[in-house]
Amino acid sequence: MKATTYAAALATVGLLALSACLHDSGDGASERPMTGETDAATATLNDARGTNADQIRDVTTQAALSQPQFGSVFQSAAVDLASASGVSAASDGTDLTITVSRDDGSALTLNSGSDPSDASGTSDSPIAGHSAQAWIVLNIDTEGISVARATVTANDSDAADYLAVGYWMHIAGDLTEFSFTGAEIGAFADGPELSLESPASLPAQGTASYYGPALGAYAVLHGADGEGPPGSMESGEFNSSVELTADFAANTIEGCVGCRDGVAVFGTLHDPDTGEATDVFFEDSGYRLHLDSANLAANGTFLGQQMRLEHSEYSFTSIGGAWGGQLSNIADSAGDPRLVAGTFGTEATSAGGSEGAFLGSFIGTKE
């Protein structure tokens, strides 16, 4: 579970660099500079991740193994907090609001209009007639610290026609003393064309290929075969792409994250012995996340019971995971769903004792 390490402060830069990677149009679209408020919140988040590294890895692993749920599509887990019962992402063309409802009636809300946030300039969307914008939203209050990273693609002439994919993380506790009481993490995909009230209409025959961005969070405990010292913890974000093939005659879908473009990681390595934090970057980490065949339901949803994590330098002794998603209720000119969106998670243990987990979301448009 290797990465190249740098002493420079890349974690904050990595948050923005990742968020700008969605199909950059190359026409000069640029990132909005981070405000001092957002910069300070991000630094606090990195400290919180380091102080709470074991719990972050545990909850990421649990989320990677959990089955996606529907309404919107979301895949999540919580440690010492109530589980998520639903996730919604609302966009009005100006701001993004992400709401995580929990089983105990509580809720986490992140809003780009009121919380510290940053957005890249608009860029090409994988959906024709749409523009894409990447968001980072952070919040620090008396209950803890929260972050969401999301990409929103919206119709240029109708803000109500949008799709948001991303992930959120919440660390509960007293930040003044870095005393934490719980954590949750989840990935989501939400938008009107994923509504089960008007589900997708699937063709009876043929196949369709889909391709687009994938993003999320990862966490690693380094063993004897890791680049970090044995026992060190690494956590951060990854950016990649997904490719999927739907076979409508067989009612199946399968694919891969990273097989076409690699998986980039940005994170922080925490050494428990020295207390030192080192920032981590790898343009292509070498990981490939295979989405094994899942059955398509009549309403366009699907659940995959297995993912396979591969890396040329590691021998994995155990691998697990789950993935799922939904096909769009909007058809293209050929009568096929114009896109697919969903979530995925995988965890693995290597022969040298390294343990890693990835959790993310994706959107793929028909090629």
pLDDT digits (tens, 9 = 90+) for 309-342: 999 888 899 899 999 999 999 999 999 999 999 9
Query: C-alpha dihedral over 239, 124, 189, 65, to 10 degrees?
Result: -20
| For residues 8-23, average pLDDT | 32
Quick one: pLDDT band at residue 116, thresholds 50, 70, 90?
A: confident
As given in the structure block, the two tokens for residue 10 are 């890349």
Residue 360 pLDDT exceeds 50 = yes
Which residues are bridge partners to 88 per DSSP? 99
| For residues 59-78, average pLDDT | 96
Nearest-angstrom CA–CA distance, 238 and 17: 11
The pLDDT score that the predictor gives to residue 142 is 78
Q: Tell me if 164 sits within 8 A of 191, measured CB to CB.
A: yes
Residue percentage of the chain with pLDDT more than 70? 84
Name the more confident of 126 and 197: 197
Quick one: pLDDT band at residue 346, thresholds 50, 70, 90?
A: very high
The pLDDT score that the predictor gives to residue 140 is 84
The pLDDT score that the predictor gives to residue 12 is 31
The pLDDT score that the predictor gives to residue 45 is 65
Query: Which of helix, strand or coil describes residue 69?
Result: strand
Residue 6 pLDDT exceeds 70 = no
Place of tokens 């010292």: 229
Type of residue at 317: T
As given in the structure block, the two tokens for residue 243 are 């490719």
Q: What is the pLDDT of residues 257-293, one digit of tens each?
A: 999 999 999 988 888 888 788 888 999 999 999 999 9
- Closest CA relative to residue 1, chosen from 230, 156, 168, 201: 230
The pLDDT score that the predictor gives to residue 353 is 94
Nearest-angstrom CA–CA distance, 193 and 109: 22
Q: Tell me if 76 sits within 8 A of 185, measured CB to CB.
A: yes
- pTM value is 0.88
In sequence order, the 6+-apart residues with CB closer than 8 A to the CB of 126 are 23, 132, 153, 211, 212, 213, 339, 363, 364, 365
Residue 77, CB half-sphere, CA atoms under 13 Å: how many? 21
As given in the structure block, the two tokens for residue 108 are 């986490």
Residue 30 pLDDT exceeds 50 = no
Quick one: pLDDT band at residue 51, thresholds 50, 70, 90?
A: low
